Amino acid sequence: MAHGKTMMQRFLDSMEMNFDKWHDGIGYDLEALDEMASTERDKVVDVLTSYNPSNAWRNFEALDHLKTPKALSAIIDGLQHPSLEVRIAASRFATNADDQRERVLIEALKSSEIFGGLSQALDQIETFHPDSVIEELLRGLLVRNSEAVNFAGMLFFIFGKSDTPFDWNLRPFFLKFNTENRVEREKAFIELCNILGLDSTKYLEIKK
């Protein structure tokens, strides 16, 4: 039991954030979880369900590592959290709840910002992009501002026109979507749709 308590404290210590851990994206001490007694793991789940939006992905990563019924249930519960940033973090690990995950990612594309969860949502969209998510990326090209630059890059990647989710060689074209000029934006949108083999007319009536 003393050994289990030591592992518990070691894990709790790893939850203390500093600038380096935040900046480098370092998660919690998952190895400590492996060495805990089952009763200690159950207590850790209760600790991990207290979310700070900026660290939420670390909590869900640890819950996913535990993979106990209680931990997996907590991930699904996270999809209903009041904070969109927390919901985005939960969706990364909610691999058996595609419908809910899809709704969260669409919401993220509609309203989140790069440093408010959108970057994490786009990371997921690299490999999880049902038709409705692609539709929202296309819609976002016409109604979002700086975010639309990243949407263009992701669409090129999804449609096999680039090897990465943001091809820096194509950045000058992607930047055309960061404009308040509707005419210029639509011109860029038509060009993008032509490259991707899409019909632009069905989207051009979209307004903010």
Residue with tokens 């969260």: 104
SS3 at position 144: coil
For position 51, what pLDDT does the model report? 80
* Average pLDDT value for the chain: 92
Q: How far lies 20's CA from each of 16, 23, 29, 161, in Å? A: 11, 5, 15, 36
The H-or-E segment that residue 161 falls in is none
Cα separation, 94 vs 74, whole angstroms: 10
pLDDT in tens, 135-184: 999 999 999 999 999 999 999 999 999 999 999 999 999 999 999 999 99
- In this structure, the dihedral spanned by the alpha carbons of residues 46, 116, 77 and 18, taken in order and rounded to 10 degrees, is -10
Burial of residue 130, with CB atoms counted within 10 A of its CB: 0-12 exposed, 13-18 middle, 19 or more buried: middle
* pLDDT over 90 (residue 92): yes
Cα separation, 86 vs 102, whole angstroms: 15
* pLDDT over 80 (residue 208): no
Please enumerate in sequence order all residues whose Cβ is within 8 A of that of 189, keeping only pairs 6 or more positions apart, or say none.
141, 142, 177, 200, 203, 204
For position 205, what pLDDT does the model report? 80
pLDDT in tens, 9-46: 999 999 998 888 877 889 999 999 999 988 899 999 99
Q: What is the mean pLDDT of residues 113-142?
A: 96
For position 1, what pLDDT does the model report? 44
pLDDT in tens, 104-118: 999 999 999 998 899
The H-or-E segment that residue 83 falls in is none
For position 17, what pLDDT does the model report? 86
Q: How confident is the model at residue 52 (pLDDT cuts 50, 70, 90)?
A: confident
Q: How far lies 128's CA from each of 33, 47, 108, 148, 180, in Å? A: 29, 29, 14, 19, 30
> Is this model's pTM higher than 0.75 or not?
yes
Q: How confident is the model at residue 50 (pLDDT cuts 50, 70, 90)?
A: confident
